[in-house]
């Protein structure tokens, strides 16, 4: 078995690639390096620099490396950008997936994993989000992920593919500083950026109907996200019949923004007393996964606590911003 990993040079893809190699799988990465870095790849992993929109590049990667399964991780992921550039997001995330599926089907590749997102649920009004909670995305990014799942399911039926769509919740942390997330669009790096600049972290709304008034999320270590992919790959490798699964990857435990700030304060030594600003439109009060189905289907459970996520993210941040550590 050889697995093609699209987006394998990115934050999550880099972790998945590393763990799959450690698990003894053969892999090849296709990445256009638009937000990824070749340095994230373990030594010896072949990299085809190209877009998922480029059928010839996909055919080359699949043909030259004898690919038998695809992990489709590549996508554009910024919610705000998806609102202002929906055409690009549909092109990259939906058309990109369609071309990947076309190339896979043409080559007889019958196993596909897809990076989906909790963004498919939109503003769920439930204590724990199960895979049966209605999907009502509230931005083009979430829409492209939901349409992607539909496309996967339709192609699975038509072409007899075995598929796993994994809906990631709030990903944080890094297995090592070199693999860390360089963007500042998620809570943890956003807070680090404010602290490093000598400013108070911002909390968008402290009047939500939650125990401390701040939003509650399900934070999950990226190394746990990667180990869920390894479990899914093993399941697909071993399958003797067609498998089609859609699974949440979360810890099933809610952590409020205020609680996260307290952890960041303990880990970094900074005062994380927040400046409270008005709510942002489109932020649900609480989004926490039910992780029962993935446990049942893949025998997988998250291992890392919030402290480990924050500490590893801080190490990565300080490697790129040495001035941050000096102030702590
Ligand atoms: N990071 C999160 O919190 C999160 C949460 C839910 C879902 N996801 C999904 O996980 C996946 C990976 O996210 P990430 O955080 O690692 O982002 P990232 O930007 O670090 O990684 C994306 C990778 O895909 C590559 N890429 C993008 N468009 C491409 C294209 N058209 N062709 C080839 N390569 C392309 C980029 O160069 C990059 O290496 C995405 O599908 C994202 O939607 C991420």
Average pLDDT for residues 213-239, to the nearest whole number? 98
Average pLDDT for residues 29-56, to the nearest whole number? 97
**Pairwise CA distance, residues 181 & 251, whole Å:** 20
pLDDT score of 35 more than 90 = yes
Report the separation in Å between the CA atom of 73 and the middle of ligand 1, taken as the mean of its atom positions.
Answer: 6
Report the separation in Å between the CA atom of 267 and the middle of ligand 1, taken as the mean of its atom positions.
Answer: 27
Q: What is the rounded average pLDDT for all residues in the chain? A: 96
Average pLDDT for residues 173-182, to the nearest whole number? 93
- CA distance to 215, 240, 253, per residue, from 210 (Å): 7, 45, 14
Q: For a pocket test of ligand 1, which of 4, 33, 74, 251 has the largest count of ligand atoms closer than 8 A to its C-beta?
A: 74
pLDDT score of 328 more than 60 = no
Q: Is the CB of 168 under 6 A from ligand 1?
A: yes
Report the separation in Å between the CA atom of 76 and the middle of ligand 1, taken as the mean of its atom positions.
Answer: 6
**Catalytic sites, residue numbers:** 141
Q: Is the CB of 246 under 6 A from ligand 1?
A: no
Task: Say if residues 10 and 35 touch (Cβ distance below 8 Å).
Answer: yes
Beta-sheet strand order (sheet of 244-249) = 47-49, 26-31, 2-6, 69-72, 111-117, 162-168, 244-249
Q: Could you say which architecture CATH assigns to the domain 174-217+251-327?
A: Alpha-Beta Complex (3.90)
- CA distance to 58, 60, 115, 162, 209, per residue, from 47 (Å): 12, 11, 19, 25, 47
Average pLDDT for residues 295-302, to the nearest whole number? 98
Report the separation in Å between the CA atom of 317 and the middle of ligand 1, taken as the mean of its atom positions.
Answer: 19
Average pLDDT for residues 1-24, to the nearest whole number? 97
Do 2-171+219-249 and 174-217+251-327 fold alike per CATH?
no
Residue 246, pLDDT score: 98
What pLDDT, in 10s, does the model give residues 116-125?
A: 999 999 999 9
Q: Is the CB of 171 under 6 A from ligand 1?
A: yes
Atom of ligand 1 nearest to the CA of 116: 7
pLDDT score of 304 more than 80 = yes
Report the separation in Å between the CA atom of 325 and the middle of ligand 1, taken as the mean of its atom positions.
Answer: 28
Report the separation in Å between the CA atom of 10 and the middle of ligand 1, taken as the mean of its atom positions.
Answer: 6
Atom of ligand 1 nearest to the CA of 186: 3
Bigger pLDDT: 187 vs 184: 187
3-state secondary structure of 203: strand
Sequence-distant (6+) residues with CB within 8 A of 76 are 82, 88, 89, 92, 93, 141
Tally DSSP H helices, then E strands, for the chain: 12, 14
Atom 6, ligand 1: residue with shortest CA distance = 117
| Other Cβ atoms closer than 10 A to 239 | 12
Q: Is the CB of 47 under 6 A from ligand 1?
A: no
pLDDT score of 327 more than 70 = no
Tell me, which fold does domain 2-171+219-249 have in CATH?
A: Rossmann fold (3.40.50)
**Pairwise CA distance, residues 243 & 69, whole Å:** 13
Atom 32, ligand 1: residue with shortest CA distance = 51
Q: For a pocket test of ligand 1, which of 60, 75, 186 has the largest count of ligand atoms closer than 8 A to its C-beta?
A: 75
The confidence band for 182, taking pLDDT boundaries of 50, 70 and 90, is: confident
Both tokens assigned to 281: 């439109």
Residue 184, pLDDT score: 79
Atom of ligand 1 nearest to the CA of 181: 20
The confidence band for 185, taking pLDDT boundaries of 50, 70 and 90, is: confident
Hey, where are the domains in the chain?
Answer: 2-171+219-249, 174-217+251-327
Average pLDDT for residues 206-232, to the nearest whole number? 98
Residue 281, pLDDT score: 85
């Amino acid at each position: 078995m050889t697995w093609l990993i699209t987006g394998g040079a990115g934050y999550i893809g880099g972790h998945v690639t590393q763990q799959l190699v450690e698990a003894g799988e053969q892999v090849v990465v296709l990445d256009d390096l638009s937000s990824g870095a070749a340095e994230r790849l373990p030594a010896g992993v072949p990299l085809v620099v190209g877009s998922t929109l480029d059928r010839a590049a996909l055919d080359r990667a699949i043909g030259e490396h004898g690919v038998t399964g695809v992990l489709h991780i590549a996508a554009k992921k910024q919610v705000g950008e998806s609102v202002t550039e929906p055409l690009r997001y549909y092109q990259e995330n939906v058309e990109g997936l369609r071309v990947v599926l076309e190339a896979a089907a043409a080559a007889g590749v019958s196993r596909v994993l897809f990076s989906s997102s909790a963004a498919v649920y939109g503003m769920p009004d439930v204590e724990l989000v199960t895979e049966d909670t209605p999907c009502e995305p509230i931005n083009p990014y979430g829409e492209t992920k939901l349409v992607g799942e539909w496309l996967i399911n339709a192609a699975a039926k038509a072409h007899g593919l075995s598929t796993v769509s994994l809906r990631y919740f709030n990903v944080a942390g890094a297995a090592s500083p070199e693999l860390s997330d360089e963007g500042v669009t998620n809570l943890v790096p956003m807070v680090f950026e404010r602290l490093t600049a000598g400013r108070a972290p911002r909390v968008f709304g402290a009047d939500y109907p939650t125990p401390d008034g701040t939003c509650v999320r399900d934070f999950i270590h990226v190394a746990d996200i990667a180990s869920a992919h390894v479990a899914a790959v093993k399941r697909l490798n071993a399958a003797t019949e067609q498998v089609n699964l859609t699974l949440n990857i979360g810890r099933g435990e809610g952590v409020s923004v205020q609680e996260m700030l307290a952890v960041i304060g303990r880990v970094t030594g900074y005062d994380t007393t927040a400046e409270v600003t008005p709510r942002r439109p489109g932020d649900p009060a609480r989004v926490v996964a039910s992780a029962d189905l993935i446990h049942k289907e893949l025998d997988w459970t998250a291992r890392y606590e919030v402290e480990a996520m924050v500490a590893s993210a801080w190490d990565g941040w300080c490697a790129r911003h040495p001035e941050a550590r000096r102030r702590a």
